[in-house]
A and B are shown apart, each in its own frame.
Chain A
Amino acid sequence: MAVSYNSSDPVEIAPGVFHLGVQDKPNSFNNIPYLIVDGDEAVVIDPGSAKPEFFEVVLAKIRKAADMRKIKHIIVQHQDPDLCAAIPLIEPYCASDVQVHAPLEAKVLVQHYDFKARLHPLDDGDALTFGNGRVLRFIMTPYCHFIGSMVTYDLKTKIVFSSDAFGGFTGAADLFAGPDYPIQLTSFLGQYLGSKRALEYALKRLEQLAAGPGIEMICPQHGCIIPRELIATYIEAAHGLHVGGEVDALAAKHGISLD
């Protein structure tokens, strides 16, 4: 039986790492922020939407998992409102010196969410180091699906927080990828990604990680968590994706040759 999440309790998916997912039932586009708590520090990754039915769930889940004053960092992995709009709402509850971190190319857009915290730009290979030495490494995945897109690798738990990469359309609140996830994932990624080259680059970076330090889980911001034993299968499925096809469809419809 599938493990589900609810609208009131955070799910601890690894020691000190919490899934704060909100089911978007009418739109089948669930929204999943994550919280990492380690000692006196906490980090929120992709805090989510400003819509009350999303934000209030996330806020309640964070409060159950940690003292919000421990939140010293908010990481946003690209600029979309479904993961950034909550920044100004969550900010007043966080540490007074909380910082927001975003990929360099997304920073110029993220500023428009109008929060007070310092906005720190990130580039490939940058890291965020906790006071106790725990490291979150940032891996840029350009054009996947925006120039300023990245994934975050937690060296301690070997979790990749993948943002839209490996996301899927899901109506249910399943925590882990089930038998329908290949269709849910390919339906989403196949339409939302525009560049096969960009996708291949991102996949090869993840393959390097998997072959090197290892990946225990891929945690996307939509859809379901992919556990270690399924990661190779999903990377293989993603290699086979045809992306950017909407351009071909509209070109055909309007009699435009792109050759």
Chain B
Amino acid sequence: MKFRAVIEEILATALKVTNERERLSVAFKISGINLDADMRITDINGDPQKALQRLMHNLSELAVVKISAKQIIRRAGLTL
């Protein structure tokens, strides 16, 4: 459950630091995290921890989102 909450927080922060919604949506989708048209998480394919690991890899092209996400992951006490 903690991993899903962290993914939710990463998404909420991402929407505040970038306007690149399409690229963001693609990064989440290829990580196995599906978003609806309002950029809300609908479902996560498989283990949320693995999805978070994939997401961090796929966010590299959206540097400010990944930088922000690192802070969120650390604050949650997670080590990936």
Contact = CB atoms under 8 A, between A and B. Distances in A.
Given A191-B70, A191-B71, A28 B64 contact: yes
Contacts of B36: none
Interface size class of B (residues with CB under 8 A): 10 to 19
Contacts of B70: 191, 246, 249
B79 A169 contact: no
Contacts of A169: 17-18, 64, 67-68
A77 interface: no
A253 B16 CA distance: 28
Interface residues of A, number: 25
Contact of A25 (B20, B63, B71, B79): B20
B60 interface: no
Among B16, B70, B73, residue most surrounded by chain A Cβ atoms (within 10 Å): B16
Interface in A168-196: 168-172, 180, 183-184, 186-188, 190-191
Contacts, number: 59
Interface in B9-68: 13, 16-20, 62-65, 67-68
Contacts of A187: 13, 17, 64, 67-68, 71
Interface of A: 25-29, 168-172, 180, 183-184, 186-188, 190-191, 242, 245-246, 248-249, 252-253
Interface of B: 13, 16-20, 62-65, 67-68, 70-71, 73-75, 79-80
